[in-house]
């Protein structure tokens, strides 16, 4: 089964780290984000990878090559101008139409969740989305009836709130529903949700981290190296 990595973003919030490299090549704990992803995919026997490349695509392609050194086979689909995550995936449609299903992941996440759970789909679903509990970036305070501070939780995980983990499984039926330009999160996913054709799969007690800022790099390194 194939996996598509959406790796075309500009990574503006990671500058200056992304001044001379695309976001997926930013190093976390000694290796680029996308190398963490390739190793994770290979651990789960997913070795056919399509990379949707955009910003500084030449740097990304030169670094990763055919994927042989990571034990995978990489094909590249490039965009000459930013298309968004949905448009980038639509750009890769010719390589996906004949598949029974395929994985999709954002190029800025590091995780150890088991992607195969996403493939356990009833017929009415066109795809599934990995969900993780919300990691709160702030300390949370609990007050008593008279306004007294009772408990202080430092950056708790809010299990009653779920967030998009940026890992998906789709059947090829989703391809006609992709925009030519625009983000999955603003176009196709809300449409699938309205049609009740997208399954949510909750993962608890897994490692998951989105790398959006330099602070995220530092926090991911602390957790990975602990």
Residues with catalytic function: 155
Element (H, E) at 106: strand 102-106
Torsion angle in degrees (nearest 10) through CA of 129, 135, 137, 139? 150
Dig out the tokens for 206 from the structure: 């897994």
Give the C-alpha separation, 212 to 224, whole Å: 16
Closest CA to 112 of 49, 29, 204: 204
From the centroid of its chain, how far is CA 214? 18
Closest CA to 174 of 156, 155, 198, 151: 198
DSSP 219: H
- Given CA atoms 206, 137, 167, 218 in this order, what sign does their dihedral have? negative
58 with 51: CB under 8 angstroms?
no
DSSP 184: G
Give the C-alpha separation, 157 to 207, whole Å: 12
């Amino acid at each position: 089964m194939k996996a598509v990595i959406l790796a075309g973003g500009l990574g503006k919030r990671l500058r200056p780290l992304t001044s001379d490299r695309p976001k997926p090549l930013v190093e976390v704990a000694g290796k680029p984000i996308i190398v963490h992803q390739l190793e994770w995919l290979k651990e789960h026997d997913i070795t056919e990878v399509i990379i949707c490349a955009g910003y500084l695509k030449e740097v990304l392609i030169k670094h990763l090559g055919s994927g042989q050194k990571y034990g995978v086979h990489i094909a590249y689909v490039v965009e000459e101008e930013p298309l968004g995550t949905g448009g980038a995936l639509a750009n890769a449609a010719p390589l996906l139409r004949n598949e029974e299903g395929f994985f999709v992941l954002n190029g800025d996440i590091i995780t150890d969740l088991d992607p195969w759970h996403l493939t356990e789909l009833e017929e009415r679903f066109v795809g599934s989305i990995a969900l993780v509990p919300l990691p709160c970036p702030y300390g949370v305070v609990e007050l008593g009836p008279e306004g007294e501070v009772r408990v202080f939780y430092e950056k708790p995980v809010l299990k009653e709130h779920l967030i998009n983990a940026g890992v998906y499984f789709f059947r090829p039926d989703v391809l006609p529903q992709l925009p030519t330009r625009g983000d999955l999160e603003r176009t196709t996913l809300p449409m699938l949700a309205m049609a009740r054709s997208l399954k949510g799969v909750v993962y608890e007690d897994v490692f998951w981290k989105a790398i959006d800022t330099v602070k995220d790099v530092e926090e991911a390194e602390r957790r990975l190296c602990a």
